[in-house]
Structure formats: structure tokens, C-alpha cells
Structure 1
Amino acid sequence: MSLRTRVLTRAGFAVLAVYLVITLTFLVVVFTPDTNLRGMLGTALWSGATPAEMEQMRETYMAVRGRNRPLYQRYLDWMVNVTLFRWGLSASMGEPVTQVVADASLRTAKYLVPGAVTAWVVGVAAGIRSARERGSRFDRLGRLATYVLFGLPGFWLAAIAVVAIESDWALLYDVLVPAGVVAAALLAGQVSLTRSRSIDEFDADYVRYLRAKGLSEYGIDRRVLRNVLVPVLSMTAAELFSVLVLSAVVIEELLGIRGIGWLTYRATQENDIPLILGTTMVLVFVGVGGSIVTDLASAWLDPRSRES
């Protein structure tokens, strides 16, 4: 299979996956009980509202969120709006969803990208050295640090940072601390996978041949790195998506960052359909786009995978 054919095939699957996820999201939103509405009606009932007033409140609430129309119309509007990037106004924030989501995504990217890059660079370098020098002090200390990082939840690290650091420097809480938490969450997996994959490579015949030819350790490391990059990249994409979906919500809530994790949580709490659509699309684009990039990078790094 040529690289061009592979790109077109993956693009087609990506479009199909996006619309399947959008459809599933629509069904989940439609058939999930609206706890926010129940809370409002319960408060109104406790305050002595009449049945007519409560019904008017419910109808107004449903109309504002576009939930008073037939299901098929809502689904068609949902799909068309997604395709044309017409995500409407946020019912809970009163602003265009595209602008709100773009601002939130930028705030998340400010710490997520440097944290992920740091974890990838340090983790791959440490994993390769640990494999090359297995049994050494560096290897033992590195494995111990890996086990410790595996056992430390990200929200605990963020909470410790909030308590331990007292500063008015906005960059510290908006970028440096959350980037450090993300790096810590990803680093252990990067080191562990790179080390396990590299051990087999360092034991391979071609490495012994290269050493016999007098190639430097740096040159050998480069060749080993090329052979282990494919599985490492695949795991990086998967872990990064899990951090975005799960850890970002906790990190941003603790540190007061109004990023995409915080926005997703608020949209769910408020049952803000346009905002749920916008945040879901960000997650879909990241997940599907990351999968395509990883697959194409794997094909470029390992031409043998193009035949699979």
C-alpha cells in the first residue's frame, strides 16, 4: 500500500469515526437525565412555586437549550451544525461556543504541549540509556523512580503544588505547575516502554555488528531509537489523550485554569448542549487526529508497516 493510499484510507476512516462519535454523543446527551433541571425544579417547589410556574420554568429551560423540538430535527441540526462549525451560543456562558472553546483549548495547550514534549524527550532518552546500561546504578534508580511515578496520581501532585508554592506569578500556575504534573503523569510510561523495547534491540545481532565496526554509542542509540519509535509514539498518543480526557479536568479545577477540561466539566454540569458539542469536538479532533498522525509517522519510520 502506497503512502498516498494509506493517507486517503485513514482520512476516510477518520471522517467516519468522527461522525460515529458525534452520533453517540448526541444519544448520550439526549437520554441522560438532566440533573440541573431537576435541581432547579426542586428548588422552585421548595420555594412554593405553583405547578404552572414550574411548567413554565421547564419549558423555558428546554427552549433555551433547543430541547423542545422532535428528536430527528435535533439530530439533523446537530450533524449539520457540527459539519459547518456552527456551534451556536453557550446557554450557560452567553458567548459563541467556537470562541469559548478556542480560548479554553489554547489555555490547555499552553501546559499540555510542553509537559508532553518534556515527558517524551526525557522518557525516551532515559529509557534508552537505562536499557543500554541495565543493571547499573542509573538503571536501578531510574526503575525506582518509574515505580514511584506510576503510584502518584496527578491530582495529588497538583494539590501538593498548590499548598507548597505560594506565588502571585500567573505563569507558574497556568503553565509550569500543570506542565510538570502532565510530564510526571506521562514520564513513567515513556521510560518503562522505551526501556523494555530497547533491551531487545541492544541484544540484537546488528548492534553487536555495529559495535564491532567501531560505531560510537551515540550512533548505536540513534539506530535503536529509530526501531523503538513506532510503539513509543503509539503509546504517547494514547496516554496524551487519556490525560486530556481525565487528568486535565482535575488539574484545571485544582489550579483554577479555565481550559478545555474545566469547560467540559462545566458544560456537563450545566447540561449546555452547544458547549457539550464544542468540547466533544475538541476531544474527537485530538483523538482521531492523533491516531492518524501516529499511524502515518509509523509508516514513515517503518516502511514494513505499509504492507499491513
Structure 2
Amino acid sequence: MSLRSRLLARFGFAVVAVYLVITLTFLVVVLTPDTNLRGMLGTALWSGASPAEMEQMRETYLAARGRNQPLYRRYLDWVVNITLFRWGLSATFGEPVTQVVGAATLETAKYLVPGAVSAWIAGIAVGIRSARERGSRFDRLGRLATYVLFGLPGFWLAALVLVALDGGGQLARDVIVPGGAVAAALLAGQVSLTRSRSVDEFDADYVRYLRAKGLSDHGVDRRVFRNVLVPVLSMTAAELFSVLVLSVVVLESLIGIEGIGWLTYEATQENDIPLILGTTMVLVVVGIGGSIVCDLASAWLDPRSR
């Protein structure tokens, strides 16, 4: 299959996957009990509100969140609004959803990108050297250290560091500490995969030939790196999405970073439908879009994978 055909096929798959995720998100939203509304009505009842006042409060709440329409109409509006980028106003913040989501995404990217890149570079370097020197002290200590980091909760490490730094400065709180937590969560997987893929490469005949020709260890490492780059790229995309969906929500809520994880949690708590729509699209773009980019990069780097 040519690269162009693969691009078209992957784009078609992405469109189907995006609307499938959108539909599943809609079902989760409409089928989940609105505890926020129940709490408001319970408080109003306790305060002595009349049934008419409580009904008015309920109708106002549902109308502000687009939940006063029939189910099929709400689904059609949901799909059309996403397709046309009409995400509306956030009922929680009173601002355009695109503006709120854009600012939150930037806050997350400030630490997520440096953390992921650092884990990728360090993981590949440690993994290749461990494979080249397998059984050595560096191999054993390097793998032990990465797995210890992987076993420790990232949000706990981040909180511990901030306490040790007495809160730290703005740069430490918003970038360095959460970026380090992300790197710690990704590093063990990068080291493990790179090492396992590189072991077979170092035992291959072409490596023996290169060494017999007098190529240095760094030169051999570069050749091995080219051959293990494709699977490492694929794992990076999968792990990055899992970190974004799971760890980032806890990390941002604990540290107080108003990023996309924190915003997703707030939108769910407030049952803010337009905001849930916006945060869902960010997660979909990062997950599916990142997977497609890695797949196409793999096809470009290794024609055999086409």
C-alpha cells in the first residue's frame, strides 16, 4: 500500500473513530445521574423552596446545559455542534468553550510535552545502553531505578517535591514538578521496550559485521536506534494518551494546575455539556490524532510496515 493510500485509509478510520467516541461520550453523559442537580434541589428543599420554585430551578439548570430537549434532538445538536466547531458557552465559567479549552490545553502542554520528550530521550538512551551492556551493573541499576519510579505514584512524588521545596516558584509548580512526574510515569515503559527490542538487534549479524569493521559503540547504537525507532514511537503514542486521560487529571487536581485534566474533571462535576464536548474533542484529537501521526511516521521511516 502506498503512503498516500495509507494516509487516506487512516483518515477515514480517524473520522469513524472520532464520531464513535463522540457518540459513546454522549451516552455516558445522558445516562449518568446528575448529582449536581440533585444536590441543588436538595439544598433548595431544605431551605423551604416551594415545588414551583424547585421546578423553575430545575428547568433553568437543564436549559443552561442544553438538556431540556428530546434525546434524539440533543444527540443531533451534539454531533452538529462538534462538526461545525460550535461549542457554545461554558455554563460553569460563562466564557466561550473554545477559549476555556484552549487556555487549559496550553497549561497542560507546558509540562506534558517537556516531560514526555525527556522520558522518550532518556528511555531510549538507557534502553539501548542496557541492551548493549546487558547483565552489567549499569543494566541492573538502570532498570531497577526506572521500575522504582514507575511503581511510585506520580502525583505523590509531585506533592512530596513541592512540600520539600515549600511550594516552589511558579515555574517549578507549573512545569518542572509535573513534567518530572509525567517523565517518571513514562520512563520505565520506554526503557523496557527499547531494551527488549535492542537486545535482538545487538545479536544480529549486521552488528557483528559493523563491529568487525571497527565501528564505535556510538556508531552501532545509532544503527540499532534506527531499527527500534518505529515500535518505540508506537508505544510513546499509546502511553502518552493513557497518561493524559488518567494521571493528568489527578496530578492537576492535586497541584492546582488549571489544565485540560482539571478542566475535564470540573466539566464532569458540573455536568457542563458544552465544556464536556470541548474537553472530549481535545482527548480525541490527542489520542486518535497521535496514533495516526505515529502510524504514518512508521510507514515513512520503515517502508516494510506499509
Same fold (TM over 0.5): yes
Aligned partner letter, 1:125: A
How far 1:157 moved relative to its partner? 0.8
Does the C-alpha gap of structure 1 residues 167 and 42 become closer, same or farther in structure 2, counting only changes over 3 Å? closer
Quote the Cα distance in structure 2 between the aligned partners of 1:85 and 1:164.
Answer: 44
AA matched with 1:165: L
1:104 counterpart = 2:115: no
Cα distance in 2, alignment partners of residues 293 and 259 from structure 1: 23
Residue aligning to 1:169: 169
How far is 1:97 from its partner? 0.1
Which residue is 2:83 aligned to?
83
Cα pair 2:146 2:184 within 8 Å, conserved: no
Name the residue aligned to 2:46: 46
Question: 1:167: how far off?
Answer: 4.7
- Match of 1:87, SS state, is coil
1:247, 1:165 → 2: CA distance?
22
Q: Distance in 2 between matches of 1:143 and 1:62?
A: 53
- 1:126-169 CA deviation, whole Å, 9 max, x = no partner? 10001101111111110110221121111111121221112552
What is the distance in 1 between the residues matched to 2:110 and 2:51? Answer: 49
- Corresponding residue of 2:145: 145
Q: Percent identity, aligned pairs only?
A: 83
Q: In the alignment, which residue of structure 1 is the partner of 2:24? A: 24
Determine the C-alpha separation between the residues in 2 that align with 1:93 and 1:161: 31
2:288 aligned residue: 288
Q: Residues 218 and 103 from structure 1, CA distance in 2 versus in 1: closer, same or farther, beyond 3 angstroms?
A: same
User: Gapped runs of 5+ residues in structure 2?
Assistant: none
Residue identity opposite 1:216 in structure 2: S
Conservation of the 8 A alpha-carbon contact between 1:146 and 1:192: no
CA drift at 1:212? 1.2
CA contact (8 A) 1:128 1:195 kept: yes
Equivalences, count: 306
- Check 1:167–1:66 CA distance in 2 against 1; reply closer, same or farther (3 A cut): closer
The TM-score normalised by the length of structure 1 is 0.97
Question: What is aligned with 1:136?
Answer: 136
The answer to whether residue 269 in structure 2 is matched with residue 269 in structure 1 is: yes
Deviation track 1:246-279 (CA, whole Å, cap 9, x = no partner) reads 1111111111110000000000000000000000
After superposition, what is the alpha-carbon deviation per residue over 1:198-231, rounded to whole angstroms, capped at 9, x for unaligned? 1111011111111112222112111111111111
In angstroms, what is the RMSD of aligned CA positions? 1.0
Structure-to-structure mapping, 1:192-203, within 5 angstroms: 192-203=192-203
> What's the TM-score, normalizing by structure 2?
0.98
Give the SS at the match of 2:85.
Answer: coil
Q: Name the counterpart of 1:157.
A: 157
Residue 119 of structure 2 is matched in structure 1 by: 119
CA distance in 1, matches of 2:2, 2:254: 47
Structure 1 segments of 4+ aligned residues over 2 angstroms from their partners: none
Unaligned runs of 5+ in 1: none
- 1:33 matched to which residue of 2? 33
Q: Deviations over 1:38-74 (max 9, x none)?
A: 1111111111222221111111111111111111111
What is the match of residue 303 of structure 1? 303
**Aligned residue runs from structure 1 range 225-240, under 5 A:** 225-240=225-240
Show the counterpart of 1:71. 71
1:258 matched residue in structure 2: 258
